[in-house]
Amino acid sequence: MALTVAAALPGAARAQEDPVLLEGFVITASPVPRPLSAVASYVTVLEGSDLRARGISHVAQALGEVPGLVVVRSGSFGSVTSLFFRGSESDHTKVLVDGVPVNQNGGSFDYSGLLMEDVERIEVVRGPSSALFGSDAIGGVIHVVTRRGRGPLQVGARLSGGSFGRLDWGVDVGAGSEKTDFAVTANRASGDGLLEFNNQFHNTVLNGTVRHRPDSLTLLQVTGRYADRAYHFPTDFAGNVVDRNSHTFADEVTAGLDASRFVSGSLQLQGKASFYDFDGGTDDGPDSPADTLGSYGFYSLDEFRRMVGDVRAHWFAGDDVVVTGGAEIESEHQRSTSESRSQWGPSSSDDTYERLNLAGYAHAVGEWSRGSMNVGLRYEDNEQFGDFTTIQVGGTYRPFTSGPALRGSVGTGFKEPTFFEAFSTSVFALGNPDLRPEKSRAWEVGLDQTLGFAVVALTYFDQTFEDLIQYTGTPALPDAPNFYNVAKASSRGVEVGLTAPFRALDLSVGYTYLGTEVLDSGFDEGEGAVFVEGQPLLRRPKHQGSLAVTWRLGPHSVMADARYVGTRSDRDFSQFPAQAVELEAYRLVGAGAELRVLAPGGGRPETILTLRAENLMDETYQEVFGFTAPGRAFYLGLRVGTGRR
């Protein structure tokens, strides 16, 4: 859907030179692009150029400022980075890159692999979206749209470095005409980390997009992405620095094909195909030839592949109503191997899993002078967990021409079990093929109001998570599985967003109040359990806020930003049983500047100097108990190019 805007809008919209990024339109919240004012869910759109100007280098940094999102990094740069969407679990968010789903089986995703340099925009759509996207879209959807080529040929290069041995570089090339455009970027981020040894990381990404319009009714698009990353960690599960050679690694390949054509004035046909391949694991061999006691070596490799085919039809019933119907087939394949070495002898495993999913869906969206509506239904038939149906209904209404715009939505979502939870045959974990999907139901109401030059968005949400899957080490029978759908939780809260562009000044403010509660702890027992009935979910702060200011001074700009994350519950896993702990609140202050030192012209490239300071107050804090986050850091960068992109 995100790739067909050129043909997805009637009349004047199709005549736009760059219809994929029509200003004010959202391409993720429905099967066809819609004006932001007509979307019933609370949506945030982040522009990549604005974030890069502030010195933001990773997508996770940007998402940490968005109301409703809690981003948690396990220590140093490059470490596993998770996201809790409105209090949901870390595997309850659908992640798309140029329309291609990139979650692992069962929904997990590591946000440390997403660099900012090739990003055009990020759309954050809140609320259950399984009626649109199927599994994993319980809390919401994050869609990363990469750069597009436009205008004459543009070439650029950048280099930046600074604290903690950071060295980043990137090159990009792109061009576009009315018929064809392309963009290619190559980027690498690397550093030494903040611990005394074995804490380096690197992340290399190559991304490309080509679009072609044979005529005014047809759009073809091909996207491709390759990523290679590694993260070295000397820490054990409790954060102690003990290992000199352990590291994780991952290679990812993403590809997407999208073709659409209007076969009549009101009927558009669209076909999509996507491919995602992940090869990654852990390498923790002996530290030295003398390392032969206990369990001294471990290797693992997960090879995961997802292929999706989708066909759909859009019927434009007049200028204001679009009805969409379609079908999807998805194939998942995974091979997991591991080898452990210990003084008691080696052990190994080699498991292969496959799963096929069929889906049919129907959606309708409409607009009128004072409001809009949307309704969607999706039916899944999965060869593992059977059938499942999800819905999504919402609308907007503006009672008065100059008054607030009201919006509301209700929906359901689900997440399929992981292959390991369903099919594992290991000694310590027997899978349960009868597992049901984890599911959610949620509703939200909100209003948007323009106050002079400022726009305020206020939203209240309420959601319940059911059939959450848990592991038990003591099943009722010796040959019974270890995984069951037993836990239940809820989250509710308020999100406030304010944007205020005023002349040369841009201001944005975000605040989230989040209340979570375990309604059924399942198998967990004791105060140190992960789920404790009546207690909040782990690592979800009740209060969180952000502020960002940009002041433009002609071709130059200066920026400042601040984040506040309140106290939250966690566990100290260095003890057995684990002990309940409270992570202290923290405040992060950053600043930056973008200075154009050489203007383009006369054959000269544009030259831009960037400055960035992070954690200026040198706050000591932890996002995960036992794993200290980076302190104060300074970075200096230089970009040279034939045009700003």
Round the average pLDDT of the chain to a whole number and report it.
93
Give me the amino acid identity at 368. W
Q: How far apart are the first and last CA of the chain?
A: 24
DSSP state, 48? H
Q: Name which of 6-15, 162-171, 495-504, 602-611 the model is least confident about.
A: 6-15
Above pLDDT 90, what percent of the chain?
83
CA geometry: angle 294, 297, 301, nearest 5 deg? 145
Task: Please give the Cα distance from 636 to 305 (Å, whole number).
Answer: 39
Tokens linked to 150: 């436009």
Residues paired with 604 in a beta bridge: 601
Strand (E) or helix (H) holding 8: helix 5-8
Residue closest to 334 by CA, chosen among 110, 92, 104: 104
Burial of 344-379, coded b for 16+ CB within 10 Å and e otherwise, reads eeeeeeebebebebebebbbbbbbeeebbbbbbebe
Distances (CA, A) of 121 to 224, 280, 416: 17, 27, 28
Q: What is residue 82's three-state secondary structure?
A: strand
Please write the tens of the pLDDT for every residue from 501-535.
Answer: 988 999 999 999 999 999 999 998 887 899 999 99
Which tens digits make up the pLDDT trace of 67-104? Answer: 999 999 999 999 999 999 999 999 999 999 999 999 99
Task: Determine contact, residues 394/374, Cβ cutoff 8 Å.
Answer: yes
Q: How far is the C-alpha of 457 from the C-alpha of 498, rounded, in Å?
A: 6
CA–centroid distance for 276 within its chain: 15
Return d(Cα 234, Cα 164) in angstroms, integer.
Answer: 16
Question: Is residue 51 scored above 80 in pLDDT?
Answer: yes
> Which of the two residues, 314 and 2, has the higher pLDDT score?
314
Kindly report whether the peptide bond that precedes residue 437 is cis, defined as omega within 30 degrees of 0: no
185 and 118 Cβ atoms separated by less than 8 Å = yes
DSSP H/E element including 496: strand 483-502
Tally helices (H) and strands (E) across the chain: 5, 35
Q: Which of 130-144, 359-373, 466-480, 547-561 has the lowest mean pLDDT?
A: 466-480
Query: pTM, whole model, 2 decimals?
Result: 0.95
Looking only at the bridges linking them, the beta strands covering 505-520 and 100-101 are unpaired
Q: Is the pLDDT of residue 12 over 80?
A: no
Residues contacting 241, CB < 8 A, separation 6+: 195, 196, 197, 234, 235
Pick from 190, 82, 56, 185: which is nearest to 142 by CA?
82
Three-state DSSP at 586 gives strand
Tell me, what amino acid is at 457? A
| Nearest CA among 363, 365, 371 for reference residue 391 | 363
Cβ atoms within 10 A of the Cβ of 440, count?
Answer: 29
CB 310 within 8 A of CB 344: no
Q: Which pLDDT does position 11 carry in this prediction? A: 42
What's the CA gap between 293 and 342, in Å, rounded? 7
Question: How would you classify the pairing of strands 140-146 and 119-126?
Answer: antiparallel
* Omega within 30 of 0 (cis) for the link into 399: no
Chain centroid offset of residue 253 CA: 17
pLDDT of amino acid 9: 47
Q: Report pLDDT for 22.
A: 58
Sort strands 140-146 and 93-97 into parallel, antiparallel or unpaired.
Answer: parallel
Q: How many CB atoms lie within 10 A of CB 67?
A: 26
CA dist., res. 511 & res. 69, Å (int): 10
Q: Residue 112 pLDDT more than 60? A: yes
225-274 residue pLDDT tens: 999 999 999 998 889 999 999 999 999 999 999 999 999 989 999 999 99
